Amino acid sequence: MSERTTQFTRSLGGLFHRAGIFGAVVLILAIGALVSPKFLTAGNLLNTVDSVMLLGIVAVGVAFVTYSGHYADLSVPTTMAFSGVMAVEMLRFGFVPALLAGLATGLGIGLVNALMVGRLRVNPIIWTLAMSYLTMGVMRWLWSNQQIYPDVKGGDTGAGRLFTELYRHEVLSRIPLPMVILALFAVAGHYVLTRTAFGQQLKLVGSNPSMAAMTGVRMPRTVGLAFVLSALAASVGGILITSLSKVGAYYNGEGYDFDAVTAVVLGGVMLTGGRGSMLGVLGGVLMLGLMSNILTLLGVDTFAQRIVKGAVFLAVVGVSSLLARRMGRDDA
């Protein structure tokens, strides 16, 4: 290859990393406009954003795990389901106790993951996969494979109604609550990642764990916190998805593990850890939403959409590894 082509590849790589995902978002907006006249309408775009708010909330949490170099948290879907089911079950004690129970469930799962991956250094993919299987078993066994309903569990306290209206609640009677939560999470996530000791040390851990350990980073605590944050975000997402579907069930949250990782990686958080940003993650989430919206407008059914999503994931991981290598570092 000549000197010039290499420089071209390199600047392309630089562009990919800097403008990152938002260049791709603009591109897909243009494609969408070509595909369907209905695409670039306020209503359609708002619907698109609406459809990925939960994914955004969950992805902000998973981003910490990926950033720390531990790839993904596969226990996200069952954490969502379990938090929702627990919240519904506790509605009998009132609305606030129910929410707290949901969050506590997430915290519990997060702490177990933190202990196993952070302190005992178990492979994160294998462990969270096992954790997911185990929690699923516990749920289906405890609730005899049944769905539970907020209005039934809440009795006549009114907590059930409050719970089912949670997702549709509008802050200042205008902005949907999940949107507000997503915005708060993203801002807080950005701050934690870039402006706290934890975020800085997480970058060291993601970039070179042995070096981080020999620099005085407390590995169990730092890695563990990433998994706890992931589980907490998942439990917030789980409570909201349960409120939306008005039913507590083990299958709530199905598919969020893969979607979240796809969004995170699409948003430029490297699977090898230590590189990426929360803004990018939001872009990745938006991108997934727009893609699936366009496919729906094209009349592609949801199962075929999975094929596209899987292909996009493979392409992104492939291209980013390739570009990283071209730029002269073979560690990606």
Partner 1 sequence: MSDIGLALQLEQVSKRYTGMLAVDGVDFDVRAGEVHALIGENGAGKSTLMNIIAGAFADYTGRILIGGQEVALHSPVAAKRHGIQMIHQELSLARTLSVAENLLAGRLPARLGILDRRALRAEARALLQRVGLDSLDPATLVEDIGQHEAQLVEIAKALGNRPCILVMDEPTSALSRDEVKHLFEIVRNLRRQGLAIVYISHHLPEILEIADRVSVMRDGKKIATREMRDVTQADLVEMMVGRAAAADLYSRKARPAPGKEKLQVRGLTRIGVFHDVSFSVRCGEILGIGGLAGSGRTELARALVAADAPDAGELLLDGCPVRPKRLSDAIRLGMAYLPEERKTLGLALRLSAGENLLAALIPRLTRRCHYSARRGDGTLGRLMGLLQVHPSDPQVTVHNLSGGNQQKVLLAKWLAVEPQVLILDEPTRGVDIGAKVIIHRAIEDVAEQGRAVILISSDLPELVSLSDRVLILRHGRMIREMPRESLSEEAVLLAANGGVGDV
302/82 Cα distance (integer angstroms): 25
Rounded distance, CA 124 to CA 130, Å? 10
> Using CA atoms, how far apart are residues 32 and 239, in angstroms rounded to an integer?
32
Indicate whether 11 belongs to the interface with partner 1 (CB under 8 A).
no
Total of chain residues touching partner 1, rule CB under 8 A: 30
CB 55 within 8 A of CB 262: no
Please, which of residues 291-330 interact with partner 1 by CB under 8 A? Answer: 327-329
Cβ nearer to partner 1, comparing 130 with 219: 219
- Choose which of 25, 180, 213, 297 interacts with partner 1 (CB under 8 A): 213
Contact flag: residue 120 with partner 1 (CB under 8 A): no
Best CA proximity match to 28, nearest among 281, 225, 312, 220: 312
**Is the CB of 15 or the CB of 34 nearer to partner 1?**
15
> Which lies closer to partner 1 via its Cβ, residue 37 or residue 216?
216
Query: Distance between CA 127 and CA 10 in Å, rounded?
Result: 37
**By the rule CB under 8 A, 6 interacts with partner 1:** yes
Tell me the per-residue interface mask from 191 to 210 with partner 1, x by CB under 8 A, - otherwise.
----xxx-xxx-xx--xx-x
**Does residue 1 bind partner 1 (CB under 8 A)?**
yes
Among positions 119, 215, 307, 311, the unique one binding partner 1 when judged by CB under 8 A: 215
CA dihedral sign of residues 103, 109, 112, 117: negative
Query: What is the secondary structure of 167-179 as a DSSP string?
Result: TT-EETTTEEHHH
The residues of the shown chain that bind partner 1, judged by CB under 8 A, are 1-3, 6, 10, 195-197, 199-201, 203-204, 207-208, 210-218, 274-275, 327-329, 331
